[in-house]
Structure 1
């Protein structure tokens, strides 16, 4: 029961993502939404990033909500600790070490200096991650849509108007229960049983 509900939920998410890739929003809107989502998710928002997603989705119809939420999958809480460690390291590289703080001794008085380095590093990493995420998402969505159109074009090339007329004749013959003349020769039944 739980597994079937989980499968239904996963299928619903998959359907929503495919729908958002192929309908409703342009390629630029989808890629931009994903990029904004990556930027917000990279920041140390302590969970309030999801509230920002809701506010953005409510404020603008051009925001692709599925693309915003897809960014959470990329930078989920399991990988956030690595982002914070890299952000602090980058902040220390840009602003220098926190005066009077060593890895063995950290005091609460150094908190604001540590937070500033974390925020600077987070903003830099968020920008660095948002730009390529836009490019990658744009290419993926464009390729997905091109593939969808290629399938439609291929099917329309295979199905010609003559085929449609033949389909009508076949349908009429089936309804009348008459052979169409296109059937293969009947297979002769063996007269002796196989041993």
Structure 2
């Protein structure tokens, strides 16, 4: 029973991905949706970025929801710590070190300087990642459309799905 439910969920997800890539959205809409998702996900929104995803998906029919939410998989919480570290380093390189703050003695008074460097670096990295993700996603979706192969079919070929519900008539046994 659990296996059938999982297979049904996989089938629905595969159909949604197939429709998303081929019927519902152009390659530019898919790439734009993923790019916007990358930009929002990289910002230090403390989880409110998902609310922005829902609002964007509700406001526009042109948003490819699957592509936008896929960015959360790419920039998951484990990856974001590295993004924040790189953002702070980039912000410090641009704005200079935080006055009066050393790694050994950081006080609350240095908070605004640290946050400013984090936000400046993060905004620059988010813009760069969004641009790069648009180009990569657009090329992948365009190549997918040119080859006319279904992503879901490719996944289904790689992961064979069989239904075993104990019904002998499905196994080719028609001797009953």
Cα offset, 1:14, TM superposition = 3.5
Q: Deviations over 1:5-55 (max 9, x none)?
A: 555444433432232111111111111111111111110011011100000
Scaled by the length of structure 1, what TM-score is found? 0.71
Match of 1:131 in 2: 131
Match of 2:75 in 1: 75
Scaled by the length of structure 2, what TM-score is found? 0.79
User: Alpha carbons of 1:55 and 1:99: their partners in 2 closer, same or farther (altered >3 Å)?
Assistant: same
Structure 2: 5+ residue stretches without partners: 150-176
**Whole-Å separation in 2 of the counterparts to 1:88 and 1:3:** 46
Size of the aligned set, in residue pairs, is 150
Q: Deviations over 1:59-110 (max 9, x none)?
A: 1111111110011111111101000000000000010000010111111111
Alignment RMSD: 1.9
* Superposition map of 1:144-155 within 5 A: 144-148=144-148
Structure 1: 5+ residue stretches without partners: 150-195
Q: Deviations over 1:124-179 (max 9, x none)?
A: 00011011100110011111111117xxxxxxxxxxxxxxxxxxxxxxxxxxxxxx
The residue matched to 1:84 in structure 2 has which SS? helix
* Superposition map of 1:72-151 within 5 A: 72-148=72-148
